[in-house]
Structure 1
């Protein structure tokens, strides 16, 4: 049996038995960045894509100089989870996890509030032009 086929079969047998798959491998930052922009291009409307692309670019630029491995892993993990949700369309209608909100700093909560206001503003502007 070919090694690749054997590995595929072993992975299938593990998931068939109810075992959870191993931990996800983190993508390197540049590959993750490209994946995010590609997911925005494929799965978001043009308005949302502009907002999302600008946010991703700003966040990756801000975190470029981070050297603490815990922060780097947390940053990449959250963005990779976001990319997976976006690609599978499982984010539609999903609410934020209260545990994650409690862990946010005041600055992050402020950013979240500003994002909410920007989305609401776009929604009211869109509603006025359609009337």
Structure 2
């Protein structure tokens, strides 16, 4: 019995995507979409708005996709995101570094978008200079 729990807890991104195993661990699109939006309720207002808008636009953008392998990959990555969201409303959301294999799999367009996102995030969260030379964080 214990082996099955360990197997279920493993990330599907570590092993090759097996469609039958992945489908048993995934939520259908609509319940996954609802769970993602519910999980954002624990975030600060600005982060919640950003996350909700992003989830809605991504699901809308991929609504007409018919390739089963692509759909499984899409749903599995959103499931990984959902699993990494903090369950405690008082817990602070912390990101994690991308591993080297993720960078290798990205196209040049995706790398450009990631670079732009990095600079946009730095502008949002950079310290504000207050009168006395002290720094104050925006968060």
Fold conserved between structures, TM > 0.5 = yes
Taking structure 1 as reference, are residues 91 and 99 closer, same or farther at Cα in structure 2, changes over 3 Å only? farther
Is 1:96 matched up with 2:95? no
Mapped partners of 1:104, 1:69: distance in 2: 21
Is 1:20 the equivalent of 2:6? yes
Q: Tell me how many residue pairs correspond in the alignment.
A: 115
Match of 2:109 among 84, 107, 110: 107
Q: Which residue of 1 aligns with 2:32?
A: 32
User: How far apart are residue 93 of structure 1 and its match?
Assistant: 4.6
Measured after TM superposition, the shift of residue 106 of structure 1 is: 2.4
1:55 aligns with 2:57: no
Moved segments of 4+, more than 4 Å: 88-91, 128-131
Cα-to-partner distance string for 1:52-79 (whole Å, 9 max, x where unaligned): 1111111111111111111100000000
- Please tell me the root mean square deviation across aligned C-alpha atoms, in Å: 2.6
What TM-score, normalized by structure 1, do the two folds share? Answer: 0.73
Please give the alpha-carbon distance, in whole angstroms, between the structure 2 residues aligned to 1:90 and 1:19: 27
> Does the aligned pair in 1 maintain the 2:40–2:51 contact within 8 Å?
yes
Q: Which structure 2 residue ranges, 5 or more long, are not aligned? A: 9-20, 131-135
User: Which protein is richer in helix relative to its size?
Assistant: 1
Distance 2:94 2:123 in 1: 19
Return 5+ residue gaps in structure 1 as ranges. 1-13
Task: Compute the displacement of 1:98 (Å).
Answer: 1.6
What TM-score do you get using the length of structure 2 for normalisation?
0.69
